[in-house]
Amino acid sequence: MGFLSGVKERRQARIARIRQRAYDKAIAAGKTPEEADRAADRALRKRRAVLIGGGGS
């Protein structure tokens, strides 16, 4: 595994964890699967906005 492919794999795994956590939290709160999907998408957009606005990491 090259360096860049490793970075890409870790980023995809991180995105999957964030999305799954947001989805599970929404389902536990009684949301429908469609609403939970939207909540997961919002969580990813929020994370990107924080990283861009905060200067990265």
State the CB neighbour count (10 A cutoff) for residue 39: 18
Return the pLDDT at 55.
Answer: 64
Return the pLDDT at 42.
Answer: 95
With tokens 């939970």, the residue in question is 36
Tell me the pLDDT band of 57, cut-offs 50, 70 and 90.
low
Radius of gyration of the chain (CA): 13
Q: pTM to 2 decimals?
A: 0.77
With tokens 């861009």, the residue in question is 52
**What would the pLDDT profile of 19-42 be if each residue is shown by its tens digit?**
999 999 999 999 999 999 999 999
Rounded to 5°, the CA angle 12-16-19 comes to: 135
State the CB neighbour count (10 A cutoff) for residue 31: 15
State the CB neighbour count (10 A cutoff) for residue 27: 14
